[in-house]
A and B are shown apart, each in its own frame.
Chain A
């Protein structure tokens, strides 16, 4: 089963030449004065599998939250396939799986997906929800509320919810943090399939081998600034990503 249905249609044609994500001069200063991002520029081409690496507090989650309208930016501009990120159109194109499990405790697995689809204006979200429940192996838990799921099941549901409305840009914030080897491999399989179907993916991760294995472009971020960016192939041509990462972070 296809996890997404990105590909054709008039809207697709209009926005095909636009970068999936364009950040210009993005700055975020929190109320306590902490500057999480400063004059940050980044462009991610449509169809890319883009990795964002950096230590804790580098600004990765702030960047993602800004793109997804979950924080108030101080300055700068964000465009999603050419549209301002706050527009309803841009919002409808983004799917987000956050680092922390943030599932609605009152909803079952099926309701979680169905209501998410409803918030995104989908018609008949139940059909799509049932597809994803099967694709993510949650069939036997469809009527179980989120707090009663295991950690792995919650992680899968979080990813399924992000894909529910067939987003063109999927943002995964540490999607495999704290999961066991088997589930990590399973999630990688889903994510690869999604990318193969044409979806742009922005991935943040602490696991360098995850970035090596999945991403075709990688950016390194530290203290709210972009410090390196290149294709994974170029970065890895002479040395392992781990060495590139350590050099960049200590420079």
Chain B
């Protein structure tokens, strides 16, 4: 096996060893969102467009859980490795920098997919969630995971304390996700909030995933995929540059 495969295995092993924390907890909290919001608000908001409310919120909740997991996993794994200095075992290895970047990105992707698949299965069973456009769904999730996984790496590399990683997660990503149309269609927002929502990148990711599940979206699927790709590519390139140059990783 190549060094890349071993690094991917190590990152996946970390996720599996901490599975109650990395997979079970986010699945349970997302299911609580579906049950609480779906059941409590489902009686008041019967449908959004032609879709039942409990079915409508599932794609956004899955997106939120996966994006947060990809970010948090990669930010914490690289920060911990820097903090305890065992990242040196990888940095000094005969491994190319692109292999390091990809290897560290994989952990967050695997963790997010484990959460996403678990939630999908539960959502199919509980609310009969459909998957109308699987290819568009796969493309949206792939781009979203590259974006948030890479962002996690970048933040974990720049962070000087644990607080820095949780700050970005709680003050930036979580609010953007909540106002990104997870629980509502932005069509119902008054001006200027509807227009402002279009400057939120998470809005495009939520809508691309919702299109994959339900075939409905506030904006064109191609615009959504284009916006996510336009963000994912430079953020991944940024994380690659950090490993190539050694900036923040090597003194």
Contact = CB atoms under 8 A, between A and B. Distances in A.
Interface of A: 30-31, 65, 68-72, 88-89, 91-92, 94, 96, 98, 100, 102-107, 111, 115-116, 118-121, 161
A98 B1 contact: no
Contact of B9 (A31, A69, A115): A115
A124 to B, nearest CB: 10
Interface of A is mostly: loop
Contacts of A91: 92-94
Contacts of B95: 88, 119
A88 B96 contact: yes
Interface stretch (B56-64, B82-90, B222-230): B82-90
Interface stretch (B10-18, B45-53, B121-129, B159-167): B10-18
Given A69-B250, A72-B245, 14 more contacts: A69-B91, A70-B91, A71-B250, A71-B251, A91-B94, A102-B84, A104-B10, A104-B86, A104-B89, A105-B80, A105-B86, A119-B89, A121-B2, A121-B94
A111 B94 CA distance: 19
Contacts, number: 84
Contacts of A70: 88, 91-92, 250-251
B2 A30 contact: no
19 contacts: A31-B251, A70-B91, A70-B92, A70-B251, A71-B246, A91-B92, A91-B93, A96-B88, A96-B92, A102-B89, A103-B86, A104-B86, A106-B17, A107-B10, A118-B1, A119-B6, A119-B7, A119-B93, A121-B3
Contact of A102 (B5, B14, B86, B94): B86
Contacts of A68: 88, 92
A167 to B, nearest CB: 11
Interface of B: 1-3, 5-7, 9-10, 13-14, 17-18, 80-81, 84-86, 88-96, 245-247, 250-251
Nearest to A116: B89
B157 to A, nearest CB: 14
Contacts of B5: 118
B85 A102 contact: yes
Nearest to A98: B88
Given A30-B251, A71-B251, A72-B250, A119 B17 contact: no
Nearest to A145: B17
A88 B2 CA distance: 13
Contacts of A88: 94-96
Nearest to A102: B85
Contacts of A106: 13-14, 17-18
B118 to A, nearest CB: 22
A107 B7 CA distance: 13
A74 to B, nearest CB: 11
Contacts of B86: 102-105
- The list of the 10 closest CB pairs from A to B, nearest first, reads A118-B6, A102-B85, A119-B93, A88-B94, A91-B94, A92-B94, A104-B86, A68-B92, A102-B86, A71-B251
B52 to A, nearest CB: 42
Contacts of A118: 1, 3, 5-7, 9-10
B251 A115 contact: no
A94 B91 CA distance: 12
Nearest to A90: B94
Q: Which of A68, A70, A100, A106 has the most CB of B within 10 A?
A: A106
Nearest to A69: B92
Q: Which of B80, B81, B89 has the most CB of A within 10 A?
A: B89
Contacts of A115: 6, 9-10
Contacts of B85: 98, 100, 102
A111 B93 contact: no
A71 B13 CA distance: 28
A81 B246 CA distance: 24
A30 B250 CA distance: 11
A89 B1 CA distance: 17
